[in-house]
Amino acid sequence: MSGWDPGLQWTMKILHVSKFYPPVRGGIENFVRDLATAQAKQGHEVYVLAHQTDFAKPHHYENINGVALERVRTFGQLSYAPVTPEFPVRLWRAIRQFRPDIIHAHLPNVSAFWLLFCPKTCPLILHWHADVVASEIDRKLSVLYHFYKPWETALLKRADDVIATSRAYLDYSAPLRPYHQKCHVIPLGLDPDRMASHENSSMPDRTPDTKPPSPDFYLLVLSVGRFTYYKGFEYLVEAAEKTPRVRFIIVGDGPEYSAIKGLVAEKRLETRVFLPGSVDRQTLIRLFRTCDVFCLPSVERTEAFGLVLLEAMYFGKPLITTKIPGSGVMGVNIHGITGLQVPPQNPEALAEAIDYFREKLEKRLRMGIMAKKRLTDAFHIQSVVKKIEKLYRNQKTTP
């Protein structure tokens, strides 16, 4: 261990194994960055091993905010998994040269299975961000999971501890069921300092009027995410058809983008539903600041937590989310306190919730205030770091 003296400041060498790392966009990527950066600020030595996403880019080392980052070259992607023959060699080398006190692997990530072939020199913590869900929408996942499951089971057996991001997800997860004795619930978190560092005071805010909305008032609803099968953006577009005094901005790209764009055109909603694609960070922050409501209309528990909700909460926005059985989303957005929850795949319910916020200005503002408070109270990255450090410490002090 790098430094351990009971009652005094202690430091560890922590190796994170992650699928990707920012500037790659995604909830897991943002969380790993916030966690690793916060750990480095605490004095720990932090090393992150991840994949390149640009297949033309070579293997690369860099240091970002005190975090040593190694991006391994990839040669494409096969069914959501990076193709990277170099990864096992780079992983073995990182373990041998960095000599970590803790290995913290973030799943799902096929490359983490290479840990099964490395000597176990320190405790292994698995961060269970999501099951590989057998989807009713994307049948391909159900087939591929048969090949994935044996490796997943072997890694769960090898792990010393498993972190689940919510009690609901842990209780519903079939893969985790045999391992509840080594599972710990620690929510994801957000670093408000990172959000503040991206803000620009020159950006105009859409300051909400405290007077009742005029008949020509347009509510602005923002949604952000990868255009993929479980996000439910098609239901948000259908809700837009039922809410004529509302404008929508859906930010992101992905395999379903063309289909959603076609649906918007088919319903002739181009003047009220905007699909800007992937936008830069400053533009995204401007959209968070100027929207009235944030909506995450996901339809499956592949949406395990919804880290983007924490970003909306940072800006004091009320939330509209879906009641997905076994997902942690319902534990982030508290119905009637920080926003509203509606049944999934239900455009009528989405439209009703959106209209509620258009008509109830005081409720909208109040829930936005409570959303920001809940972020600080429950999801600040520092509180998450403390809980994870306690887990690390217990492993290092267990005979």
Q: Quick check: 134 pLDDT over 70?
A: no
Q: Quick check: 201 pLDDT over 90?
A: no
**Rounded percentage of the chain residues whose pLDDT exceeds 90:** 80
Q: Quick check: 377 pLDDT over 90?
A: yes
Place of tokens 């096992």: 88
Q: Quick check: 2 pLDDT over 90?
A: no
Instruction: Give the H or E element holding residue 307.
Output: helix 307-314
The number of CA neighbours under 13 Å toward the Cβ of 173 is: 29
Using 50, 70 and 90 to split pLDDT, how confident is the model at 139?
low
Q: Between residues 84 and 55, which one has the greater pLDDT?
A: 84
- Cβ neighbour number for residue 392 with a 10 Å cutoff: 21
> For all residues of the chain together, what is the average pLDDT?
91
What pLDDT, on the 0 to 100 scale, is given for residue 200?
Answer: 56
Query: What is the arithmetic mean of pLDDT over 237-250?
Result: 98
Q: Which domains, from first to last, does the chain contain?
A: 13-191+380-397 (3.40.50.2000), 194-378 (3.40.50.2000)
Per-residue burial over 178-216, b if 16 or more Cβ lie within 10 Å, else e, is ebeeebebbbbbbbbebbeeeeeeeeeeeeeeeeebeee
Using 50, 70 and 90 to split pLDDT, how confident is the model at 199?
low
Query: What is the arithmetic mean of pLDDT over 65-70?
Result: 98
Q: How far is CA 226 from CA 91, 192, 223, 268, in A?
A: 28, 23, 10, 23
What pLDDT, on the 0 to 100 scale, is given for residue 6?
Answer: 43
Judge whether 252 and 280 are in contact, CB under 8 Å. no
Using 50, 70 and 90 to split pLDDT, how confident is the model at 383?
very high
Q: How far is CA 40 from CA 67, 70, 135, in A?
A: 6, 16, 37
